[in-house]
Structure 1
């Protein structure tokens, strides 16, 4: 007579044993072979071999703060999702050296705080976009910051993730930017992690020339150097840049900022001061009633010792 209870028990034990063996087999294979299945709709994140190599060789942790969070329209939600998918892949291939967070810039409380936040991002190369949507029959206007701040080893750089030409439509710009997410993020990480090219910084925070005014100058520098933006008030010490450039400041340097510059020079740092002593432009100087005023920069003791 067959003991069905005993037979069922033996069958259950065999099933458990086989399951364990299968898990062990898959685990063992995983030691020799690693691959990522791309399950995104557009098959974007089979990331390039060059990016994988860059991420695999990272020595320091990299932090990425993406300023795309909150109440977003469907297009920007899709853009946000593509950025997160890319960063998830970056984290895996970097052995968890990539860390990231999404921040809502509109959470800054009060108009003054929001304006300061926007100015700070703009100084780092992350510009606001004015987006107009219609919701429940009402016109809604909102600022969106489609960029990220990437930092590692005491250095940081801003990167605009939404890019396009004026001839492109909004949807075309969005689609192109989604395709370029990997390149833009990887390029920013490479710029920070690359120790071969020398790093220089443009000092900001004292009314210096903005990015548009020195675009060609910046472009020429970028051929030989990695160029960063440095706001002295946000750093306890100046990082070890090869050189600093102060281009036409128009407001006073605080004693704290001057101390940071002095300490940087004492460590062997170099500073190129590009100063105008008078508030005078060619257009305004042609007027009969024009008076030139000197800029009070508080830099005399830095320049004449």
Structure 2
């Protein structure tokens, strides 16, 4: 009896010890092949730095299509993992327009739109019937009084809803980490947008600027004013420019003065970073708006050849035509009856990768949507000891037209001769990084600058052969999303590529790693489900009954045999 009592006490103490230990020792195991439920170190760092409570409202609730139910499930599971790291993270799934009248739903939708939450129409298919419902594939992150909208549904060009949801699940960690970072972290890096040399207007790069401002402090900057005002000293301009971590030059159209080139050169020698989208060809779609529907592209003289050559780059003004291209939208009709139709246009090459398999190239371009170019030139890389990475290139079916030439809308609909597209994989965007040699070494300097350097510190340049890659379309004075073609309804990856590039140049690589995360999500085949619905219902309902009946029959037979 005493031995039994002792054993009982030991077991009871062991159970209490295990219970106490389980409260203090907590461990989760992710057994998935793609580690989809493992929060990355980058996200953990953001959560650890967010020391205040985090409230997340996810607008994925109520009646949802099957794909969005999967997105809701994956979102909930990931938020559970985040909550396990941050004890003050609370989340909830809500339907903002549930049990509301149409008028109330419209008011709520308008209010959410002001916060960056946009409604979308989805289709529920059940029993061969289709029903349209309004959903809000967003989450709102509230931190320290600041609210940030987190899009959960990624826009993918020419993709089905299932493919979009699959891509969105891959981006879940990135989207939440990105939203939390915007709400919780101060901006430390600075970006200068050059507003001289005939660059694109503020309205035409507004969405790009706003995208940069979500992560960094951005400001306009002018260098050429040194040549037009005696009150501005070049030394002061260089010192002010050196305070910026990155300089962006969006489509200069006027030749650079030697003063501007020298200031930029010395900025690079000091370890600066430069993103230059230079258009070597003079042609716009407006040039085709004449009775002949023809344009005559010419080389654009930017006075950059000697400078780029010293850095190991050459900007070519041969006009690219590519078999892998986007459409051009042309108007028909007048006034309110105007309609736009899309036509294949080989002067709009699209690209999302290159033959460069280096880690840097894959780092920036992995999981990228098609990037659209318009009337672009190409880039040559020259050997000079500087590391070059080709980020984007043409397809393996490319033609380069020597200028001057003629571009005509009459080419639309004409049969393409593949034999004339005999060039391949020509660089369109190149990253050069390392210790550059000054373009003004052993040359007469245009101005006097203190501390002139002939050999620079580690720096980086990204050269893009098309300035329009940064340009957003404008509708009634409102800037559209960068990469969105409002005439054809297609959304290209221009903004994503540029933001990846800027993140890399500013050593802000954590978010790129999250954006490149791969998760394979299996979906049911909807057509197969409908076709084989009865079969699987029969298997799941009838088979268990047959099994129970068979077991009962065998049991009764054995019992009768035993007691017969």
TM-score (norm 1): 0.59
After superposition, the C-alpha distances for 1:99-148 in whole angstroms (9 at most, x for unaligned) are 22211133152111111111222232222221122234432111111111
Equivalent runs, 1:1-305 vs 2, <5 Å: 5-23=1-19, 30=25, 35-38=27-30, 43-96=35-88, 98-107=89-98, 109-197=100-188, 216-226=205-215
Q: Distance in 2 between matches of 1:87 and 1:58?
A: 15
Q: Secondary structure at the match of 2:72?
A: helix
Structure 1 residues 163 and 172: CA distance shift in structure 2, 3 A? same
Structure 1 residues 64 and 12: CA distance shift in structure 2, 3 A? same
Aligned to 2:536: none
Contact 1:91/1:99 (8 A) holds in 2: yes
Q: Distance in 2 between matches of 1:103 and 1:88?
A: 16
Structure 1 residues 177 and 148: CA distance shift in structure 2, 3 A? same
After superposition, the C-alpha distances for 1:166-212 in whole angstroms (9 at most, x for unaligned) are 222222211111121111011001001112359xxxxxxxxxxxxxx
Q: Distance in 2 between matches of 1:19 and 1:36?
A: 21
Structure 1 residues 216 and 157: CA distance shift in structure 2, 3 A? farther
Which stretches in structure 1 are left out of the alignment for 5+ residues?
199-213, 228-286, 288-305
TM-score (norm 2): 0.33
Q: Distance in 1 between matches of 2:102 and 2:90?
A: 30
Q: Distance in 2 between matches of 1:70 and 1:27?
A: 35
1:225 shift after superposition: 4.6
After superposition, the C-alpha distances for 1:263-294 in whole angstroms (9 at most, x for unaligned) are xxxxxxxxxxxxxxxxxxxxxxxx9xxxxxxx
User: Is the radius of gyration larger for structure 1 or structure 2?
Assistant: 2
Q: Distance in 2 between matches of 1:215 and 1:153?
A: 33
Aligned to 2:446: none
1:39 shift after superposition: 5.8
1:38 shift after superposition: 2.4
Pick which of 49-58 and 160-169 moved more.
160-169
Q: Distance in 2 between matches of 1:138 and 1:69?
A: 21
1:79 shift after superposition: 0.7
- Determine which structure has the larger helix proportion and give its number: 1
Q: Secondary structure at the match of 1:132?
A: strand
Contact 2:187/2:215 (8 A) holds in 1: no
Q: Secondary structure at the match of 1:141?
A: strand
Structure 1 residues 187 and 215: CA distance shift in structure 2, 3 A? farther
Contact 1:57/1:94 (8 A) holds in 2: no
Q: Distance in 1 between matches of 2:171 and 2:204?
A: 22
Q: Secondary structure at the match of 2:139?
A: strand
Q: Distance in 2 between matches of 1:50 and 1:105?
A: 31
Q: Distance in 2 between matches of 1:85 and 1:115?
A: 31
After superposition, the C-alpha distances for 1:65-121 in whole angstroms (9 at most, x for unaligned) are 11110112222111111111111121221122x222211133152111111111222
- Determine which structure has the larger strand proportion and give its number: 2
Q: Distance in 2 between matches of 1:90 and 1:20?
A: 29
Q: Secondary structure at the match of 2:38?
A: coil
Structure 1 residues 185 and 95: CA distance shift in structure 2, 3 A? same
Which stretches in structure 2 are left out of the alignment for 5+ residues?
190-202, 217-334, 336-564
